[in-house]
Amino acid sequence: MQINWRISMNKLLILCSALALSACVVPHPYTSTEYQKYKQSDLKVPNQPYPIRLEGEFERNGKSFPKVNPALTKAAKIALNGTKIVTVDPQAQNSLKIHANNIANIGGAVGNGIKTGLTFGLAGSTVQDYYQFYCSYSDGKKELNRSEFNHAIVTTIGLTSTPKELTPHSNLDQAFISVTKDIVVNCLGDLQNKGFLLPETANTHTGSN
């Protein structure tokens, strides 16, 4: 009976150690408000939202990465509909293309750390993924406006200090959704400053719906 107890305790200690080590490699993502050119409260909401066709395109280090296109498009759609300025309609004449290029350090210390697993987490690391976005607004015949924006996700892994003045997110998916929302608001802010997608009394462009 005594031997069985010791074996059980050893198993418990091993399990606890494994869980503790696993916690070390859980990524903790953060974003910064410094990339917010506009806040949603800066936008002017029309009486009726403008229908637009949405297209999302994702690249990693300048190369097409289509498996992320649905996630980008979904996040952008939720953000766009939430502004009440536009409503996403696949049949709309006017379109908004949101293109994202993730500048990721896959081949450097980040990639090596992920390959080595727990060692990377125990050492503690901070990774910054940069994103280059552009938004293209078209009327079905020609491009009416193009804006470019930058953003980033900072991720801490392992035993490292928490970045100051950054907004924490529960996981990387939520961080990416937050980044996409910031970009959508920036896009709409620029478009409205150019006279597009404004309330009718303030609309300076004919056919800008």
Residue 208 falls inside a structural domain: no
Residue 206 falls inside a structural domain: no
Residue 10 falls inside a structural domain: no
pLDDT in tens, 168-196: 999 999 999 999 999 999 999 999 999 99
Question: Structurally, how many domains does the chain consist of?
Answer: 1
Rg of the chain over Cα atoms, rounded to whole angstroms, equals 22
**What is the CATH number for 129?**
3.30.160
pLDDT in tens, 91-110: 999 999 999 999 976 554 44
Q: Is the pLDDT of residue 142 over 80?
A: yes
- Residue 6 pLDDT level (bands cut at 50, 70, 90): very low
Residue 156 falls inside a structural domain: yes
The arithmetic mean of pLDDT across residues 81-100, rounded, is 97
Residue 83 falls inside a structural domain: yes
pLDDT in tens, 111-124: 434 333 333 444 56
Side-chain-facing half-sphere of 181: CA atoms under 13 Å: 16
Residue 64 falls inside a structural domain: yes
The arithmetic mean of pLDDT across residues 74-98, rounded, is 97
How far is the C-alpha of 130 from the C-alpha of 179, rounded, in Å? 11
Q: Which residues, 6 or more positions from 35, have their beta carbon under 8 angstroms from its beta carbon? A: 149, 150, 151, 152, 179, 182, 186
How far is the C-alpha of 105 from the C-alpha of 174, rounded, in Å? 21
Residue 75 falls inside a structural domain: yes
> Which range of residues forms the domain containing residue 48?
27-197
How confident is the model at residue 123, as a pLDDT? Answer: 52
How confident is the model at residue 49, as a pLDDT? Answer: 96
Is residue 110 within 8 Å of 128, Cβ to Cβ?
no
Residue 146 falls inside a structural domain: yes
How confident is the model at residue 26, as a pLDDT? Answer: 78
Q: What is the pTM of this model?
A: 0.78
How far is the C-alpha of 82 from the C-alpha of 62, rounded, in Å? 30
Is residue 12 within 8 Å of 52, Cβ to Cβ?
no
Work out the mean pLDDT of the chain and round it to a whole number: 82
**Which whole-number Å values give the CA distances from 106 to 40, 68, 111, 114, 128, in the listed order?**
33, 16, 5, 10, 11
pLDDT over 70 percentage in the chain: 74
How far is the C-alpha of 183 from the C-alpha of 132, rounded, in Å? 10
